[in-house]
Amino acid sequence: MTLFSVDGKTVVVTGGSRGIGKMIASGFVTAGATVYISARKAAEAEKTAAELGCVAVPADLSTPEGIEALVGAVSEREGRLDVLVNNAGATWGAPLEEYPEHAFDKLWGINVKGVFFLTQRFLPLLRASASADDPARVINIGSIDGLRTPRMDSYAYSATKAGVHMLTRHLAQKLAAEFITVNAIAPGPFESKMMAFALDDPRTRSAIETEIPLGRIGRPDDMAGAAIFLSSRAGAYLTGAVIPVDGGISTA
């Protein structure tokens, strides 16, 4: 196995039908991995799976039933899981005085509880893959908005993404002895449904690019490369890390 190879690995990417999840899933497929993607909307999941050459498992991971459906579908086909990418998430923006309580409930359920309980339920397959030389990997997708104070009124989003980062560290400490690494990627601006409201407007897009030290929006290879690094031999000695993939925004 070469230093950055993930050839032959089995990978699950949640929220894999579009945006950052699709970028990551596409990168793994191209690199020779067997990939399962999940998404709440079956039609979108099936369309992306057909495009990429992977397997779609429609599931709403904010519910116990959705988690069981995904774990069950993968367990029927695979005896081990090498990489779990917890990418499924949601955001919510509203002025401070109008911010609704149910926004916190929804985002907590998807962004934090979903990550924890899906990881918990996949532990038997992750343990089946894990070894000292090649640990099983869990990669949680956080956000730079969980590292810095965002300008937008996205209170529940930033709070839950900060929670994802701490959950990552906590799980990493607990699972290290079982040779399961747990790391997080904290993306900056990438082309996605969450960012479309800003990036589709040329003036807003230009303003965002001006704030990025590297001067551009993230590209699919930037995100796929970070996930593949963490999943390969090159990333085998990292656990508990939160890696900003943001063009340098978090250093400014």
**Residues 248, 214 contacting (CB under 8 angstroms):** yes
pLDDT digits (tens, 9 = 90+) for 34-51: 999 999 999 999 999 999
pLDDT tens digits, one per residue of 190-240: 887 766 676 777 888 888 888 899 989 899 999 999 999 999 999 999 999
Confirm if 118 and 86 have CB atoms less than 8 A apart: yes
Instruction: Give the model's pLDDT for residue 202.
Output: 80
Backbone phi, then psi, for 80, in 5-degree steps? -155, 160
Q: Which fold has domain 1-22+31-61+68-78?
A: Rossmann fold (3.40.50)
Q: Can you give the pLDDT at residue 1? A: 63
How does the average pLDDT of the chain come out, rounded?
Answer: 94
DSSP string over 167-217 = HHHHHHHHHGGGTEEEEEEEE-SBSSTTTHHHHTSHHHHHHHHHHSTT-S-
**Residue ranges per domain, the chain?**
1-22+31-61+68-78, 102-247
**Series of mean pLDDT values for 10-residue runs along the chain (252 residues):** 93 96 98 97 96 97 96 98 96 92 95 97 98 98 94 92 98 98 95 72 81 91 98 98 95 82
| Domain 1-22+31-61+68-78 shares a fold with domain 102-247 | yes
- The whole-number pLDDT of residue 200 equals 74
Whole-angstrom distance, CA of residue 14 vs CA of residue 88: 5
E strands present in the chain? 10-14, 34-39, 55-58, 83-86, 136-141, 180-187, 242-245
Closest CA to 99 of 141, 149, 159: 159
User: In CATH, what class is 102-247?
Assistant: alpha beta
- Annotated catalytic residue 157: yes
Phi, psi for residue 14 in degrees, rounded to 5: -85, 155
Of 36, 99, 157, 237, catalytic? 157
The predicted pLDDT at position 152 comes to: 84
Strands 180-187 and 34-39: unpaired
**pLDDT value of residue 150:** 86
245 Cα distance to chain centroid:
12
Nearest in space to 19 (alpha carbons), one of 115, 119, 114, 141? 141
